[in-house]
């Protein structure tokens, strides 16, 4: 009787989670190649109140999934069943697994670095590569980045006196270039570790799965210089933050130099432990601002010289076109260089330099972004003002009805009015998963068709955002 009851409960639990739909979301999240190679092999065995039991054909596939994809797998599952916080794997040893599949796994294993080789060696060989082309000599300095440049140079001259050094800016402003330049100089006399926050997380998870935490701790805590790029990717990962805090404190205590980069200041790092943010703020915090016109002009000139040096074509971009690019492309160095590359490519294809009107067409998408000045922050501000809620309420985890609809509206407008990717939009809304963004967009699209009043509201908000009419709300 009890066994029958348990079976029925298990069946009901399984029915509460649509595994086929979860697999479709895996395909969207990870891409078709990863899904077909690895995630498709996971089968739902049992759903419990806060965990899933999945079956996989081999131990190798289990280890591969847990070391590389587990966190994101849990995120996707949570979009369907929010109380899931743990996934367990059962290796299916039944004889119906084909010999072909087993051979496939063996081939995969042979192409992976031997498991007996310490993962730390793999880390250093594969991911501690400092780019010799990103140095202090070719970093172009202007008023917007001079403080960051000088602070980075001081790290070289006065080792550990500026500790930690925290550089932040928007995308494409040169913070990774400076981080690389510091590593390039210091590696001549110091043990340097240059790694992204994402890669740091990968090795942390891998060390747990392989029972190699001692090696992980020893490696990262015995370095002279720790350079971590995009520290904001640690948001919300409590176990990782715990380990990072102790590593951070150990390095500071022994006088090692720490340099960090992020896309926002320390006090804006949502879901980062207060004690970590406090340590960041206790060092030297430097903002790299959008490049001013003089710096943009210098960057364009240097890029053109670089093109002429490495190519035989004699590409001459008129002063008028250069001035136009510098005056219109303001948001980032990366976009500025990208615009110049488009003009140069046009010149090579058609054997002539485009005129001003042609340049406007070539750079149409970049110019529209800058003309409209639409940002997610601006969208959030206008939507909050329209619905009479605070931005903190919108970005909170609360799911009250009066907050959910404005939040979904802001996410929807961010998707249609900006060029940001789904993960980027999610990060701007307190690091929500991309599946949440997709759900919000689909919900608003459906409601617009069903609710004429809501459709009018959204069109009104859209116009206010596009034409910067926040004061009219």
* pLDDT tens digits, one per residue of 168-189: 988 888 899 999 999 989 988 8
What's the token pair of residue 207? Answer: 């060390």
- pLDDT tens digits, 157-172: 877 678 899 999 888 8
pLDDT at position 128, please? 54
Distance of CA 92 to the CA centre of its chain: 35
Q: Which CATH number fits domain 293-372: 1.10.8.60, 3.40.50.280, 3.30.310.80, 3.40.50.1000?
A: 1.10.8.60
pLDDT at 16 over 80: no
pLDDT at position 51, please? 82
Q: Rounded mean pLDDT of 198-204? A: 86
Q: Which CATH number fits domain 376-472: 1.10.1750.10, 1.10.579.10, 3.30.200.20, 3.40.1280.10?
A: 1.10.1750.10
What distance in Å separates the CA atoms of residue 359 and residue 323, rounded to the nearest whole number?
Answer: 12
- Give the CA count within 13 Å in the CB-facing half-sphere of 19: 17
pLDDT at position 442, please? 92
Which residues, listed in sequence order, are joined to residue 90 by a DSSP beta bridge? 55
pLDDT at position 123, please? 41
Whole-prediction pTM value?
0.53
In this structure, what DSSP letter does residue 224 have?
Answer: S
Confidence band (pLDDT; 50, 70, 90) for 58?
confident
pLDDT at position 336, please? 85
Confidence band (pLDDT; 50, 70, 90) for 124?
very low
Q: Rounded mean pLDDT of 347-372? A: 75
355 or 312, higher pLDDT: 355
pLDDT at 452 over 90: no
pLDDT at position 181, please? 93
The strand order across the sheet containing 257-262 reads: 192-196, 225-229, 257-262, 165-168, 284-287
Q: Rounded mean pLDDT of 221-240? A: 88
pLDDT at position 467, please? 60
pLDDT at 101 over 50: no
pLDDT at 299 over 90: no
pLDDT at 118 over 60: no
What's the token pair of residue 132? Answer: 């010799």
Task: Say which residues have a Cβ less than 8 Å from residue 183's Cβ, sequence separation at least 6.
Answer: 130, 192, 194, 225, 227
Confidence band (pLDDT; 50, 70, 90) for 258?
very high
In this structure, what DSSP letter does residue 268 have?
Answer: G
Homologous superfamily assigned to 2-111: DnaA, N-terminal domain (3.30.300.180)
pLDDT at position 380, please? 92
Query: Among 341, 295, 284, which residue's Cα sits nearest to residue 153?
Result: 284
Burial of 456 by CB count in 10 Å (0-12 exposed, 13-18 middle, 19+ buried)? exposed
pLDDT at position 228, please? 92
Cα R_g (the chain), whole angstroms: 26
The residue extents of the domains of the chain are 2-111, 146-287, 293-372, 376-472
Confidence band (pLDDT; 50, 70, 90) for 6?
very low
pLDDT at position 314, please? 67
pLDDT at 199 over 60: yes
* Phi, psi of 354, deg, nearest 5: -65, 150
Count the Cβ atoms, other than its own, within 10 Å of residue 267: 12
**Residue 275 near residue 136 (C-beta atoms within 8 A):** no
146-287 fold: Rossmann fold (3.40.50)
Q: Rounded mean pLDDT of 442-457? A: 87
pLDDT at position 157, please? 83
Q: Rounded mean pLDDT of 363-392? A: 80
What distance in Å separates the CA atoms of residue 203 and residue 195, rounded to the nearest whole number?
Answer: 10
> What does pLDDT average to over the chain?
80
pLDDT at 96 over 90: no
């Amino acid at each position: 009787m009890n066994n029958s009851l348990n079976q029925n409960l298990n069946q009901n639990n399984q029915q509460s989670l649509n595994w086929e739909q979860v697999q479709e979301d895996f395909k969207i999240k990870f891409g078709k190649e990863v899904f077909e190679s690895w995630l498709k092999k996971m089968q739902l065995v049992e759903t419990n109140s806060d965990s899933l039991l999945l079956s996989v054909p081999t131990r190798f596939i289990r280890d591969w999934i847990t070391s590389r994809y587990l966190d994101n797998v849990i995120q996707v599952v949570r979009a369907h069943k929010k109380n899931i916080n743990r996934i367990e794997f059962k290796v299916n040893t039944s004889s119906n697994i084909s010999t072909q599949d087993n051979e496939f796994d063996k081939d995969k294993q042979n192409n992976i670095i031997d498991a007996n080789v310490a993962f730390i060696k793999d880390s250093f060989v594969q991911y501690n590569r400092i780019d010799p082309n990103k140095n202090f000599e070719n970093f172009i300095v202007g008023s917007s980045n001079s403080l960051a440049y000088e602070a980075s140079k001081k790290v070289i001259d006065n080792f550990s006196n500026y500790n930690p050094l925290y550089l932040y800016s928007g995308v494409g402003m040169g913070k990774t270039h400076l981080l690389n330049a510091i590593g390039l100089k210091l590696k001549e006399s110091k043990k340097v570790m240059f790694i992204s926050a994402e890669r740091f997380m990968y090795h942390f998870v891998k060390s747990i799965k392989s029972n190699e935490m001692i090696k992980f701790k020893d490696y990262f805590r015995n370095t002279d210089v720790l350079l971590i790029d995009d520290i904001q990717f640690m948001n919300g990962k409590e176990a990782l933050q715990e380990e990072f805090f102790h590593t951070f404190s150990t390095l500071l205590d022994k006088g090692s130099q720490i340099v960090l980069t992020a896309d926002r200041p320390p006090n804006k790092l949502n879901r980062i432990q207060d004690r970590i943010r406090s340590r960041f703020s206790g060092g030297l915090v430097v903002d790299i601002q959008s490049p001013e016109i003089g710096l943009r002009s210098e960057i364009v000139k240097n890029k053109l010289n670089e093109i002429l040096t490495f190519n035989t074509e004699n590409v001459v971009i008129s002063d008028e076109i250069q001035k136009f690019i510098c005056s219109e492309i303001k948001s980032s160095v990366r976009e500025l260089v990208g615009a110049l590359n488009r003009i140069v490519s046009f010149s090579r294809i058609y054997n002539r330099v485009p005129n001003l009107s042609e340049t406007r067409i070539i750079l149409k998408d970049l110019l529209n972004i800058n003309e409209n000045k639409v940002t997610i922050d601006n969208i959030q501000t206008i939507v909050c003002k329209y619905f009479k809620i605070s931005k903190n309420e919108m970005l909170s985890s609360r799911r009250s009805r009066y907050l959910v609809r404005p939040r979904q509206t802001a996410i929807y407008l961010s998707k249609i009015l900006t060029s940001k990717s789904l993960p980027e939009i999610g990060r701007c809304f307190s690091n929500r998963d991309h599946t949440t963004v997709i759900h919000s967009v689909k919900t608003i699209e459906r409601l617009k068709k069903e609710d004429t009043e809501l459709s009018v509201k959204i069109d009104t908000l859209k116009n206010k955002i596009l034409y910067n009419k926040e004061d009219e709300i």
